[in-house]
């Protein structure tokens, strides 16, 4: 540790000079010399008393020490360098003037701490955030993040991403192997899996989402707040044993621990948000509020209605450090969704040019839903030394969901006739000669669901030596769910109730439930991260094993997993990866429900306590290759995979709700290849293009061979950013997706062979951001009002740039001959959005 202290050297020098003079002077002046010496000692003591000691630790965001970090007082040469434990210490003269101390280290974002005065010793601990690394350093960063199958996602790209949902999930949907075929939803499918097969972690804690919410209809804000996000990692399969029991993917989010004041205000036509972060001594916090209303966006669909969907969310992440070795974190969230829907009319045309049909519906009634979720997690973190760390976490999640609607409709299904001029004509009336079907329907629901999840878990890490790092964890989770379902649909076609009976009035469909479920889950994992060198290169291995047990079905699961990376010594720009392992889809409440018929023919929900977890064996191999072209660095990633599926619990998608069969009846597979080209078309901003090809199938007992419900055969996407030529303050973002159609089932027939496949999903979104003000602008520096502002942006988005018509789901109607037609429910059309962002 290097220290500089000019005052101590000055005092010692003058004392030595006085002693020398006194020894060599005449006795007559000894008294005067002694007096001078005494006064000098007093002055020296006074000078020593006026120095203060500044010390502390410099840590990273995971509370690990940063060695050789620079610490200095701004404008002086006074300072120190941290030792191997991240500790620093130096002295300086006390002062009543303000002092700024700067902390810096290569690979980290430097911070500074200002103090109004220094009159006593100060203990100052700081955390440095990882620096944003530009693509020129992509080789080093890629090797670090590709130790396993996790891929780092730039938080800068999240802010500029153009799309109706925005956020982390919207950006993830442009990655290889990921499909999102509904712009109103934050849910995504990975390599043929359902939306329920994706894990989301925030600060090491798994988070949940409401169960009754219809994806893309009542769904509003995802749990992850992008304003609070520090880092994002994503894996499309083959992830390590420290992540839980799901079959498809994992999204790992880390929230910020601010080192100084920061914040931003966003005002937009679709969404507004506010966040503020601060740090004071040992305490830091970051808090965000979000508000979203999709009223204007939903108004671009075929149904004319009064939409009033309001989504409100508040989150906070707080940290208090009792010492450099011990800290406590709290993560809290409260989310409220109120969905009000009063439909009026709907008019949809479908078919071909030679066989066009039109559906016209007149509605009466409304839907009112309310979803309220709360979440809290308290973590104790202990880092005794640089070789070990321990964490104990207690978390609780509660969701109250209410779904109520009574909607009646009268529909007219007509042929559209073309006249001699080629224009269409039709009439929405019962006496129209072109009428194919006339009917009424009434949909009713009074559904209530509450579930509570309490989890306590421990995670530890021990560095055995330079080659081995051992990790382990143990957790216990208690669940309690109460569910009340009362929903039915009545249909009348040409005066006849469907299905028709002379004796009783039958419902077209119904479902009733009054169930309660409690259960306890226990899980544990252990894994090692080690590396070794051979004559031809460097290997990194992460072998691990995971075990879990659930009291509800008495099932014990064992999941061995391994990841490998190899870097050839003669090809430093090439990284070869491979992974294999067993992954289980531990059933939650939705997967347990079976539908049985009672003596009166009503459908009732029964919980299947014999159900087993769905399983998948993952085998994948890939490579990362970095190269230079045209003076810019690029990275090409390729990954081939094979997923062998067993104990399949099949599902159907009914009115954008996933309904599981509730039993394990089949096997299947999904195999394919994912390609991604990443680079900077212009310096400082990321762009990429991806392509995925997949083949999949499931073999179900009693149903034969069926396609997977969320497995398109192809998927292409790109995310492009570029500065406007001549003006780096204007950034343009283009986001596009093209995904193959999905199989469509007739809900009235349940699980069966698909009736057809939907059309391909295709969409392009354009976004523009203009940096209106910057902290370096002369106007901002001179203005007291804007002195705390870092930057201000004006953004304009054009969603669905080419006004393409995509289909969300299908509404099935019957004509007079009981022939059924699938009427497409179209998604949103072209939409304009304006936003203002101010950072401070």
Does residue 69 sit in helix, strand or coil? coil
Looking at residue 566, its pLDDT comes to 92
Q: Between 670 and 827, name the one with better pLDDT.
A: 670
Q: Is pLDDT at 506 greater than 80 in this prediction?
A: no
Looking at residue 15, its pLDDT comes to 42
Q: Between 531 and 235, name the one with better pLDDT.
A: 235
Strand partners, 121: none
Structure tokens at 56: 């502390």
Percent of the chain with pLDDT over 70: 84
Q: Is pLDDT at 432 greater than 60 in this prediction?
A: no
Mean pLDDT within 322-341: 91
Percent of the chain with pLDDT over 90: 38
User: For residues 678 and 635, is the Cβ–Cβ distance under 8 A?
Assistant: yes
d(CA 221, CA 314): 11
Closest CA to 590 of 528, 546, 652, 636: 652
d(CA 228, CA 257): 9
Tell me the per-residue pLDDT of 135-175, one tens digit each, with 9 for 90 and over: 333 333 333 334 567 888 887 777 777 778 778 888 888 99
Outline where DSSP puts E strands in 680-787: 687-700, 704-706, 714-724, 727-739, 743-744, 756-757, 761-774
Q: Is pLDDT at 502 greater than 90 in this prediction?
A: no
d(CA 696, CA 492): 39
Confidence of residue 5 (pLDDT cuts 50, 70, 90): very low
The region of weakest confidence among 198-207, 258-267, 343-352, 452-461 is 343-352
Mean pLDDT within 446-458: 94
d(CA 192, CA 307): 33
Tell me the per-residue pLDDT of 184-198, one tens digit each, with 9 for 90 and over: 788 889 999 988 899
User: For residues 807 and 759, is the Cβ–Cβ distance under 8 A?
Assistant: yes
Q: Is pLDDT at 48 greater than 50 in this prediction?
A: no
Confidence of residue 816 (pLDDT cuts 50, 70, 90): low
d(CA 779, CA 795): 21
Q: pTM score, two decimals?
A: 0.77
Does residue 404 sit in helix, strand or coil? strand
Confidence of residue 446 (pLDDT cuts 50, 70, 90): very high
Q: What is the DSSP string of 622-639?
A: EEEEEEEETTEEEEEEEE
CB atoms within 10 A of CB 566: 17
d(CA 70, CA 87): 11
Class of the CATH-defined domain 144-839: mainly beta
Q: Between 32 and 172, name the one with better pLDDT.
A: 172
Q: What is the DSSP string of 502-527?
A: SSS---SEEEEEEEEEEEEEEEEEEE
Looking at residue 562, its pLDDT comes to 95
Structure tokens at 585: 């889809």
Looking at residue 83, its pLDDT comes to 82
Looking at residue 186, its pLDDT comes to 81
Structure tokens at 624: 């990362």
Structure tokens at 687: 């762009």
Structure tokens at 150: 């996790």
The region of weakest confidence among 132-141, 536-545, 567-576, 797-806 is 132-141
Q: Is pLDDT at 107 greater than 90 in this prediction?
A: no
Looking at residue 33, its pLDDT comes to 40
In sequence order, what are the residues at sequence separation of 6 or more whose Cβ sits closer than 8 angstroms to the Cβ of residue 636? 624, 625, 626, 627, 675, 676, 677, 678
The region of weakest confidence among 130-134, 447-451, 504-508, 790-794 is 130-134
Quote the distance between the C-alpha of residue 830 and its chain's center.
Answer: 26
Looking at residue 575, its pLDDT comes to 92
Looking at residue 509, its pLDDT comes to 82
d(CA 277, CA 397): 24
| Average pLDDT across the chain, whole number | 82
Burial of 175 (0-12, 13-18, 19+ CB in 10 A): buried
Looking at residue 491, its pLDDT comes to 79
d(CA 427, CA 440): 17
Q: Is pLDDT at 605 greater than 70 in this prediction?
A: yes
Looking at residue 318, its pLDDT comes to 96
Mean pLDDT within 791-818: 84
User: For residues 290 and 225, is the Cβ–Cβ distance under 8 A?
Assistant: yes
**Would you kindly state where each structural domain of the chain is located, as residue ranges?**
144-839
Torsion of CA 478, 210, 516, 196, to 10 degrees: -80
Bridge-based pairing state of the strands 310-323 and 99-104: unpaired
Q: Is pLDDT at 223 greater than 80 in this prediction?
A: yes
Q: Is pLDDT at 85 greater than 50 in this prediction?
A: yes
- What percent of the chain is helix, strand and coil (3-state, nearest 5)? 10, 60, 30
Looking at residue 112, its pLDDT comes to 85
Mean pLDDT within 774-797: 76
Tell me the per-residue pLDDT of 665-711, one tens digit each, with 9 for 90 and over: 999 999 999 999 998 777 767 899 999 999 999 999 999 999 999 99
Backbone phi, then psi, for 472, in 5-degree steps? -150, 160
Give the dihedral sign, CA 93/89/317/257.
positive
DSSP H stretches of helix in 81-180? 138-145, 155-160, 167-172
Tell me the per-residue pLDDT of 618-652, one tens digit each, with 9 for 90 and over: 999 999 999 888 778 889 999 999 999 999 999 88
Looking at residue 537, its pLDDT comes to 87
Structure tokens at 510: 């119904």
Give kind and range of the element (H or E) at residue 392. Answer: strand 388-415
Structure tokens at 646: 């067993």
User: For residues 472 and 525, is the Cβ–Cβ distance under 8 A?
Assistant: yes
Looking at residue 42, its pLDDT comes to 40
């Amino acid at each position: 540790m290097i220290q500089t202290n000019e005052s101590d050297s000055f005092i010692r020098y003058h004392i030595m000079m006085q002693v020398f003079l006194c020894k060599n002077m005449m006795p007559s002046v000894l008294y005067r010399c002694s007096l001078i010496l005494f006064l000098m000692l007093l002055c020296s003591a006074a000078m020593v008393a006026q120095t203060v000691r500044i010390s502390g630790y410099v840590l990273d965001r995971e509370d690990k020490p940063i060695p050789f970090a620079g610490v200095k007082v701004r404008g002086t040469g006074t300072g120190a360098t941290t030792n191997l434990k991240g500790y620093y210490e130096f002295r300086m003269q006390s002062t009543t003037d303000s002092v700024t101390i700067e902390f810096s280290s290569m690979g980290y974002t430097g911070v500074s701490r200002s103090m109004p005065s220094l009159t006593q010793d100060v203990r100052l601990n700081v955390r440095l955030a990882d620096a944003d690394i530009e693509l020129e350093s992509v080789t080093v960063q890629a090797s670090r993040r590709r130790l396993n199958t996790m891929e780092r996602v730039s938080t800068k790209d999240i802010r500029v991403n153009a799309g109706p949902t925005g956020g982390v999930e919207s950006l993830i949907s442009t990655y290889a192997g990921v499909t999102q075929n509904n712009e109103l939803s934050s849910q995504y499918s990975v390599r043929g899996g359902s939306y329920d097969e994706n894990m989301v972690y925030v600060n090491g804690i798994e988070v949940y989402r409401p169960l009754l919410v219809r994806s893309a209809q009542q769904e509003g804000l995802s749990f992850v707040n992008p304003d609070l996000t520090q880092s994002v990692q994503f894996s499309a399969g083959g992830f390590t044993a420290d992540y839980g029991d799901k079959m498809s993917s994992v999204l790992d989010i880390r929230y910020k621990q601010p080192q100084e004041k920061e914040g931003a205000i966003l005002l937009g036509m679709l969404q507004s948000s506010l966040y503020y972060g601060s740090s004071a001594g040992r305490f830091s916090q970051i808090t965000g509020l979000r508000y979203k209303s999709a009223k204007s966006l939903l108004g671009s669909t075929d149904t004319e209605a009064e939409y009033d969907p309001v989504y409100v969310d508040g989150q906070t992440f707080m940290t208090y450090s009792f010492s450099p070795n011990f800290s406590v974190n709290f993560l809290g969230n409260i989310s409220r969704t109120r969905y009000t829907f009063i439909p009026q009319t709907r008019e949809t045309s479908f078919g071909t040019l030679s066989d066009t049909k039109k559906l016209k519906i007149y509605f009466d009634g409304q839907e009112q839903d309310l979803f309220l979720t709360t979440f809290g997690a308290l973590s104790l973190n202990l880092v005794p030394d640089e070789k070990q760390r321990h964490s104990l976490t207690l978390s609780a999640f509660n969701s109250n969901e209410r779904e109520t609607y009574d909607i009646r409709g009268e529909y007219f299904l007509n042929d559209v006739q073309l006249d001699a001029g080629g224009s269409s004509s039709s009439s929405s009336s019962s006496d129209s000669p072109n009428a194919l079907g006339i009917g009424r329907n009434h949909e009713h629901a009074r559904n209530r669901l509450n579930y509570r999840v309490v989890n306590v878990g421990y995670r530890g890490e021990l560095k055995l030596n330079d080659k081995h790092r051992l990790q382990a964890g143990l957790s216990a989770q208690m669940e309690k769910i109460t569910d009340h379902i009362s929903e039915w649909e009545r249909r009348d076609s040409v005066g006849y109730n469907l299905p028709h009976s002379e004796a009783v009035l039958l419902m077209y469909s119904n479902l009733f439930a009054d169930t309660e479920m409690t259960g306890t889950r226990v899980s544990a994992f252990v894994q090692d991260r080690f590396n070794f060198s051979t004559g031809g290169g460097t290997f990194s291995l992460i072998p691990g094993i995971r075990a879990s047990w659930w009291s509800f079905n008495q099932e014990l699961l064992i999941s061995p997993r391994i990841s490998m990376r190899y870097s050839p010594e003669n090809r430093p720009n090439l990284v070869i990866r491979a992974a294999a392992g067993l992954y289980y889809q531990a059933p939650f409440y939705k997967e347990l429900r079976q539908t049985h018929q009672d003596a009166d023919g009503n459908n009732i929900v029964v919980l299947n306590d014999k159900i087993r977890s769905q399983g998948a064996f993952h085998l994948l191999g890939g490579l990362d290759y970095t190269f230079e072209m045209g003076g810019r660095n690029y990275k090409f990633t390729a990954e081939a995979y094979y997923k062998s599926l067993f104990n399949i619990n099949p599902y159907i998608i009914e009115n954008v709700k996933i309904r599981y069969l509730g039993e394990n009846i089949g096997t299947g597979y999904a195999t394919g290849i994912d390609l991604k080209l990443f680079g900077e078309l212009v310096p400082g901003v990321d762009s990429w293009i991806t392509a995925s090809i997949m083949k999949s199938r499931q073999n179900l007992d009693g149903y034969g061979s069926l396609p997977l419900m969320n497995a398109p055969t192809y998927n292409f996407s790109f995310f492009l950013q570029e500065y406007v030529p001549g003006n780096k303050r204007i950034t343009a973002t283009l986001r596009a997706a093209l995904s193959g159609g999905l199989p469509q089932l007739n809900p009235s027939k349940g699980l069966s062979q698909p009736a057809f496949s939907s059309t391909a999903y295709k969409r392009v979104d354009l976004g523009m951001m203009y940096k209106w003000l910057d902290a370096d602008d002369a106007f901002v520096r001179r203005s007291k009002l804007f002195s705390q502002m870092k930057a201000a942006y004006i953004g304009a988005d054009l969603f669905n740039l080419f006004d393409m018509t995509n289909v969300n789901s299908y509404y099935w109607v019957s004509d007079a001959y009981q022939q059924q037609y699938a009427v497409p429910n179209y998604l949103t059309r072209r939409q304009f959005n304006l936003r203002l962002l101010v950072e401070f």
